[in-house]
Amino acid sequence: MEESKPTQGRCAAVTMAVRVALTEVESGRAVHGWATKLCEHGIRVDTPGAFPPGTPVEVRAMAREGDKAVRLQTLGTVLMADPDGTGVEFTNPSDNLHEAVRRLIRYFPSLA
């Protein structure tokens, strides 16, 4: 996910309302932040410079409102880290992952 990808048609901007945990696969070190961009190919989280580019991470997010809950959990690779956040590309996007992203956007329209 390059910096320009979140603004392309296949991605939806998400307000700071979905809490995300990024965990470095090798060390288990975790950081938490808010999703600021989300699409079927990756996510941008407001954790400035949490991990350097190329770092494999586990991405976990959950949103709940009333009886609606959507959980997203997958592996990714940090593609960019700057003062505004960390961009992660999902390494093996599956149909289940794509459905979780679509549900986040559909069921939580205030986030999109």
pLDDT in tens, 81-101: 988 899 999 998 888 888 888
**pTM for the complete prediction?**
0.79
> What does the mean pLDDT of the chain come to?
80
pLDDT in tens, 25-46: 999 999 999 888 888 888 989 9
> Which tops the pLDDT comparison, 10 or 5?
10
Q: What secondary structure does DSSP assign to 62-107, as a single string?
A: EEEETTEEEEEEEEEEEEEEETTEEEEEESS--HHHHHHHHHHHHH
Residue 61 has pLDDT above 50, yes or no: yes
> For 7, which DSSP code?
G
Q: What domains can you pick out in the chain, each with its CATH number?
A: 5-75+90-111 (2.40.10.220)
